[in-house]
Amino acid sequence: MNKLYSMVLALVLAIIFIWLQAEPSLIASETFMQWRSTLIQITGIVSVLLLTLAMLLALRLPLIENLTRGLDKSYRLHKWVAIYAVIIGAVHWLLAIVPKQMVSAGYLERPQRGASSIDPDSFYALIRPLRGSAETMGEWTLYLFVGLTLMALFAPVRYKVFRWAHKLMAIAFIVIGYHSLILLKHSYWDNFITPITVVVVLAGVVAAILSVSGRIGRKNKHAGAISEVVYSKENHTTRLSVHLPSWRGHLAGQFAFIKIGNEEPHPFTISSVDSKQHSVSFLIKALGDFTGSIHKQAQIGQQVEVEGPYGKFDFDDSKKQVWIAGGIGCAAFKARLDELAQRPNKGGVVFYYCTESPSPSLIIEMESAARKANVEFHVIDNRLNPFLSIEQIRQKHPDIAQRSIWFCGPVGFKRALLGQLKAIKFNTKNFHSELFNFR
């Protein structure tokens, strides 16, 4: 993720460098109001750039998923890019509003404006009267954007409300894009920053239209019917299988969104390997209202919609691997075990399954799959044993520094492991995990 954030920072710095070419007299500015004028422009440009980037990251495009190494990484980057876009937008608003209030109160001197040299027959002269309305619309849209962002981040809202909040943000972006183009400095029009800003805004508008029209992920949606529902009382999990005639296949470790009835789509790891049966299976832990009652809602033959596959949790490296699953995180590894069992495997993989509610049938199933896949398998029963530590793994596998670690489980467990790995100078680039908390 750090590499992705660095790429975004590099993009922002490149835009600032291009903008500086349009402001050759910036250093010579002597008054606050002169600096304010230029800072309003660059904060607006950077804010709309980051908002456009956030919109593009939410489109679930294969190209972007490949670049970010997974849809989960795309959404995490989308979240933070949007947060910084709103913060910079708020700075833009403060620069625009506060000095005006200070001038009205007599704390600042009103800047002297030179005579206008605008050609009355030019295009700029045509759009100049729109500046007042663009300012007002931009200001009120920013208030809406800030409110929706705070609601999406902190309010305990259901996914449906969360989704509609994002659709309103997409509509708000169109207004902000209009605001940005109308209020772009006339002196910039002969510089490269203007066409770049226009392209950025247009890209964001296209992304907003795709979002509002419900076209995100449409090509990856598949209609199917539930073929199996098996509920385990021992560890409160539901095995759900869906027959999908149009399914194009998937890799072990990928996930998909499943929509049942009137419920909103929920992401779950695919626990089955790809087959010619055009079927996918999910192992779903009862963690909330929907997952806790899914075995009651789902019926054999019921029509459902599956969108996917997504994700880059693909076990794709040449190193010996350590797999660590916490609870229902075993689903991704179960699919990989079944995949390895179908082809020659030299071994070198060790799998730790950590659980507080072990299911004998599931453990027997994974033990059998591990033998067939030539994978060393360990069960850590957290009711009896301390939580798995890196030191425990090092005792059995001193070469851990030369291995890659693949993790799927609770966030707290992941943070604890990462802290221990950093303490032994482990290269965390070799630590792979999914980021399922899209919010």
Residue 206: pLDDT band by 50, 70, 90 thresholds? Answer: very high
| Tokens at 13, concatenated | 């710095």
Q: Which residue has the tokens 């705070």?
A: 150
User: Contact at 8 Å (CB) between 107 and 75?
Assistant: no
Question: Tell me, what CATH number does 303's domain have?
Answer: 2.40.30.10
Q: Are residues 225 and 95 in the same domain?
A: no
Q: Are residues 160 and 265 in the same domain?
A: no
Q: Are residues 300 and 406 in the same domain?
A: no
**Preceding amide of 62 cis, omega within 30:** no
- Higher pLDDT, residue 383 or 179: 179
Q: Is the pLDDT of residue 146 over 70?
A: yes
pLDDT digits 0-9 by tens, 52-107: 999 999 999 999 998 988 888 898 999 999 999 999 999 999 998 887 777 777 76
Q: Are residues 367 and 250 in the same domain?
A: no
- Residue after which a domain boundary falls, among 248, 278, 310: 310
- Higher pLDDT, residue 178 or 113: 178
pLDDT digits 0-9 by tens, 260-311: 988 888 889 999 887 677 889 998 888 777 888 888 888 999 999 999 999 8
Does 413 reside within a domain?
yes
| Tokens at 79, concatenated | 């979240």
- Residue after which a domain boundary falls, among 275, 310, 345: 310
Q: Are residues 224 and 197 in the same domain?
A: no
Q: Is the pLDDT of residue 30 over 90?
A: no
Does 438 reside within a domain?
no
Q: Are residues 225 and 179 in the same domain?
A: no
Domain that holds residue 367: 321-433
Residue 116: pLDDT band by 50, 70, 90 thresholds? Answer: low
Q: Are residues 146 and 46 in the same domain?
A: yes
Q: Are residues 25 and 61 in the same domain?
A: yes
- Higher pLDDT, residue 265 or 192: 192
Does 354 reside within a domain?
yes
Helix (H) or strand (E) holding 297: helix 289-297
The pLDDT value given to residue 54: 95
The pLDDT value given to residue 187: 86
Q: What's the CA gap between 410 and 405, in Å, rounded?
A: 15
Does 79 reside within a domain?
yes
DSSP state of 270: B
129 CB-near residues (< 8 Å, 6+ apart):
none
Count the domains in the chain: 3
Q: Are residues 35 and 105 in the same domain?
A: yes
Does 316 reside within a domain?
no
Q: Are residues 274 and 349 in the same domain?
A: no
Question: Tell me, what CATH number does 327's domain have?
Answer: 3.40.50.80
- The DSSP secondary structure of 386-413, one letter per residue, reads PPP-HHHHHHH-GGGGGSEEEEES-HHH
- Phi, psi (degrees; rounded to nearest 5) at 24: -65, -20
- Higher pLDDT, residue 114 or 302: 302
Does 315 reside within a domain?
no
Residue 15: pLDDT band by 50, 70, 90 thresholds? Answer: very high
Say which range, 128-132, 243-247, 287-291, has the weakest mean pLDDT. Answer: 287-291
The pLDDT value given to residue 105: 72
DSSP β-ladder status, 255-260 and 303-310: antiparallel
Q: What is the pTM of this model?
A: 0.85
pLDDT digits 0-9 by tens, 338-395: 888 887 677 789 999 998 877 788 889 899 999 999 999 999 988 777 789 999 999 9
Q: Is the pLDDT of residue 113 over 70?
A: no
Q: Are residues 21 and 129 in the same domain?
A: yes
The pLDDT value given to residue 406: 96
- Higher pLDDT, residue 294 or 405: 405
The pLDDT value given to residue 24: 78
Q: Are residues 267 and 306 in the same domain?
A: yes
Going from the C-alpha of 204 to that of each of 177, 195, 198, 421, the distances in angstroms are: 8, 14, 10, 40
- Residue after which a domain boundary falls, among 310, 339, 373: 310
The pLDDT value given to residue 139: 87
Does 165 reside within a domain?
yes
Say which range, 12-16, 113-117, 188-192, has the weakest mean pLDDT. Answer: 113-117
Does 71 reside within a domain?
yes
